[in-house]
Chain A
């Protein structure tokens, strides 16, 4: 609440500050001040704005600040406090997700495939409120092999036949019919055979042409491992209610494969596979995902790390337009300085390579200058121009 004079004062002051503070900040200030339950006078508005301006100006970074090292320390230091083997339920009991230190290492390593790939798939309006429809979409996504709907198999060597007994419960669960199975088998290249049906849930395949038992085994394997339906790489898809809509959580990740499935809201799909996002949506999306994933790991462990540090790490990893690993095969390995590279890892190789290429060490970076005992060019060492006192 503001007195009339104070409100006027606020408007005037805020317009003066418009080139110092961002529009959002100004809007927030206006909102907070006018909706506050205590009445404020002109004088107090002045004081508040003075404090805000003072705090803001005082909180800016100074030139030379070694922001990289500060970020590295801020992310590395809490690493010692993390638990090692954290498997956490990803909202669902059935799925475990790697979190904690191993996941953090995985992210900065820029591994191609995370140890527990996972997707959260949101559904379109038509699907998201209906559990049945959501389940339907989930079934379409889940990668199902013939093996997954079979109760048992047996082989008869005398007649060279294989009997597949289907499991009605599993078929129901996966939404598969006997005809589906037959169709899949018919598409396989397993030579000539005849199909017999014994009851509703038993298929008998007779192979007249096969000669030995081992090829019969091979055929059985081939049938069992053939794909019935679903998206490759999705081991399981679980429907879960999140907020007021149904979402699908998957074990395994395949963005590209999932995108075409009906009922899926492509704009909101989530995965924890950074490489996949980079391939499909580009490096900016991957950069954002790295920030989110690191933040998630730290939050989950209850560790407080400023988002700016995480953004900086992510920015450096994605600077060149591809995600680069933090380490010898990425950022550290591409440094210009020979000595900096040699002092990190694989010392001898870098020295020999430098000799062959006739490289020049220019002593610009931190590591090189530490090696030769000269001031480093960050912080107070950044100043190059100095005056000689007479």
Chain B
């Protein structure tokens, strides 16, 4: 099939002649249907305007519903009317041109000179030509006499929205649209051009309508409500109004009615036609439906998020897609997606029948639409589609299959599909997966791909699309597969990687105390695709034991070297090199993990320059995929076997610690009381540039902050650093030290807008305090810990601060969403050319060499073009 390409679309204003030419009929009556409900010829629902009911045949083109594009009609307006969208242009023309001869009110030579400049710059420098036009308009409007015919000029006054007046000596005279049209007709083409319009497509007099096109019924279908009553589209209503007034105006003129009545009707016609174009004109009451709902007329149909442009043209609804809830499945590969059978039976892929797959295809056709794997349609060589749902003898049909048939078969395992989660903020929000048809009703995905989608399983839903052509499949496979997108173009590091239990599991496995018996090792390696040798056990007697580090090393490539601190290397357990008593410095030589533990810094997601990063970057994509599928599976497997949970005891601190903290609290409270007393005596030393009150607040905040920290320190010093909760915090798997201290020691200050909570009643937040009380507990300081529990007042403060977080998130999403929409829109046409320059689609040069070094951030080493130290480490890192 030869593809047709749209080369261009021209914009312009239709002339009355053109409108009449494209029209199939004049619409002459405001009646729509006769008694028995058939549309009247010459009414707005004239059958010649197109088909809207199934089974009808179009009297104009002979096509049926769906094929017939619809046809325009027209209304001859008795009196001309100004087009509401062009009022500004009309105003410009009227004020800049002579009321008698229609020339721009500038001397001839100036017009010629400006025109010459205008023509030269018009296509290249649009903003400059716009300024020129504005200048011409401005100066021409100021002229009081016409330099061409010498006529004295009157000032044109536009009374918003549509009425024009001429300001003469005797006062204002109204300009009727007929007068305006006459004047506009007199303007010469070259003057029109200098006013910034194209005289070939858009003569100014066309902005005053004499004939109104009536859009085809296909774009304003009437719908049947259940009771059999017909409900007409808003546009139809509006058109009926226009015709009715047009008729009345005609009758009045024919009957020789007084000028006043005619003018009123004329204005009414103007109103109806204006609201027909746009029902949100400032200064005009919007036309309303009988129920009081404003009508949705032409402009409203186009604009806004749900309008034609953003709602239907830029964003389209598509076929071959599915959406359902997601749930985790650590046992499928990261580049797979579990598809429910119910979904698989509806999504199809067109597959050409060939000599090599004909038997398979026959089987699929015989299975039909109900049984997976089957097929839903076949397309015969003549292009006819056969719906297998309605075929009685599928067996015969399957027998009749020959090459050149196309079978729309169900999606099957390993078909390439696109998987997406909204909001699609970056390109890795849509990635290609291999389908894996599974029982159940949810999409299943590996936990390691959650970070790029930002997905969790608290009810998230995701979408799935099936590419329909070989080309699309190839592109999806080559560019969008999961393991080709582990590194993000945002900063050139891995965006996928271990999270939560993967991290704890990795830590527990690689920690020095982990020793595995042969049975345990087999149990671990069982579900994993590992085919290499098992190394000599680290401990041979009394019985063989393998260390966790040995097991991990089995998965590392032989030439892999790495040096770097682990996440646990912090605070008192910090290490600068491999001479480390805390085992917190990772050292890998020739693929053997010698010291250190794997935790967030080593294998976590969004950790550039980590073990994981180098493994992904320096070895083939397949290896990255394999590591993520197998090594990580091992980690959760190990965590499962060992068991990992959190108990109350993990955050419980002894009574001794509690009393210590209480002591600290008491001291701080006294300190603050002193501060307040000092403040009241006026002895407080203010911070330069701050008022006394602000200074006091600052001092109090400082003291409270110190208290929380010292309480936290006291609390955590009593916690066992090797209990599960602490391990999770230290390794970066989940939670932080702050969370632990909040559970064990003290919550600390609750804040709103970075200040202590102060709003509420007059002088106090809640009625449990005296007015003007600024003690810590009255302003949202919480002495309790989560494990001890909060008292009602503390609980209120906690909720108030928590609410701020929620509000903040809601506001932020909308703001950053809009910013991103603007960024994308502004930069969407920018691409890299073959010569290495960055240009937009018009060819304007933006960068002579991308990023000034030509390096793709995704392929860079965390932003660097080359990383010499890493290169040295890779080659000779094992030596030191």
Contact = CB atoms under 8 A, between A and B. Distances in A.
Interface of A: 21-22, 25, 28-29, 32-33, 36-40, 44, 47-48, 51-52, 55-56, 58-80, 82-85, 87, 93-94, 101, 104-105, 108, 236, 238, 304-309, 311-313, 315-316, 319, 326-328, 330-332, 334-336, 338-340, 342-344, 346-348, 351-352, 354-367, 370-374, 377-380, 382
B119 interface: no
A36 to B, nearest CB: 6
Contact of A362 (B8, B840, B846, B871): B8
B540 interface: no
10 contacts: A22-B853, A25-B865, A69-B830, A70-B427, A73-B427, A108-B822, A306-B860, A315-B847, A357-B196, A358-B197
B489 A70 contact: yes
Contact of A316 (B278, B819, B827): B827
B255 interface: no
B854 A63 contact: no
B86 A77 contact: no
Contact of B872 (A48, A66, A311, A339): A48
B820 A77 contact: yes
A83 B5 CA distance: 47
B237 to A, nearest CB: 20
A108 B823 contact: yes
B812 A84 contact: yes
Contacts of A309: 490, 857
Nearest to A53: B866
A19 B12 CA distance: 55
Interface in B58-107: 85-86, 89
Q: Enumerate the 3 nearest inter-chain pairs by beta-carbon distance, A residue then B residue, closest first.
A: A68-B830, A358-B198, A76-B820
Contacts of B13: 355-356
B303 A347 contact: yes
Residue from B201, B827, B852 having most chain A Cβ neighbours under 10 A: B827
A33 B753 contact: no
A343 B687 contact: no
A61 B490 contact: no
Contact of B5 (A29, A65, A339, A374): A374
B302 A61 contact: no
B489 to A, nearest CB: 5
A59 B831 contact: no
B426 interface: yes
Contacts of A72: 820, 823-824, 826-828
Interface in B197-235: 197-198, 200-202, 207
Nearest to B89: A356
B490 A78 contact: yes
Given A74-B490, A312-B847, A366-B828, A359 B872 contact: no
Contact of A76 (B12, B425, B872): B425
Given A72-B823, A307-B863, A83 B808 contact: yes
B439 interface: no
Contacts of B879: 38-39
B520 interface: no
Nearest to A68: B830
Contacts of B690: 93-94
B829 interface: yes
Contacts of A70: 427, 489, 857
Interface in B839-876: 840-842, 844, 846-847, 850-857, 859-861, 863, 865-869, 871-872, 874-876
Nearest to A364: B841
A282 B157 CA distance: 42
A65 B833 CA distance: 8
B847 A356 contact: no
A365 B828 contact: yes
Interface string B296-320: 0001001110010110011010000
Dominant SS among interface residues on chain A: helix
Nearest to A22: B853
A62 B831 CA distance: 10
Contact of B689 (A47, A236, A380): A236
Nearest to A342: B309
Contacts of B202: 355-358
Contacts of A87: 754
B126 interface: yes
Given A63-B832, A313-B827, A29 B425 contact: no
A83 B608 CA distance: 23
B824 A51 contact: no
Interface string B801-828: 0000000100111011101101111111
Contacts of B1: none
A344 B302 CA distance: 12
Contacts of B309: 339, 342-343, 347, 371
A86 to B, nearest CB: 9
A29 B303 CA distance: 57
A67 B832 contact: yes
Given A67-B832, A332-B825, A351-B302, A108 B200 contact: no
Given A355-B202, A358-B11, 19 more contacts: A48-B876, A60-B854, A61-B855, A72-B820, A72-B828, A80-B425, A80-B812, A80-B817, A83-B808, A304-B606, A312-B846, A316-B846, A343-B313, A347-B304, A351-B302, A354-B11, A358-B198, A366-B841, A367-B314
Contact of B831 (A21, A65, A313): A65
A75 B816 CA distance: 10
B493 interface: yes
Contact of B200 (A29, A326, A358, A371): A358
A259 B739 CA distance: 49
B854 A344 contact: no
A80 B813 contact: yes
A358 B122 CA distance: 13
B857 to A, nearest CB: 4
Contact of B875 (A47, A108, A338): A47
B303 A348 contact: yes
B127 interface: yes
B356 interface: no
Interface in B733-779: 753-754
B834 interface: yes
Contacts of B8: 360-363
Interface string B638-675: 00000000000000000000000000000000000000
Contacts of A344: 825
Contacts of A378: 829, 831
B817 to A, nearest CB: 8
B565 interface: no
Contacts of B875: 40, 44, 47-48, 51
B10 interface: yes
Given A56-B866, A87-B754, A355-B12, A76 B876 contact: no
Contact of A305 (B491, B606, B819): B491
B812 A82 contact: yes
Contacts of A348: 85, 278, 299, 302-303
Contacts of B423: 80
B10 A67 contact: no
Central interface residue in B7, B316, B811, B856, by most chain A CB within 10 Å: B856
Contact of B841 (A311, A326, A365): A365
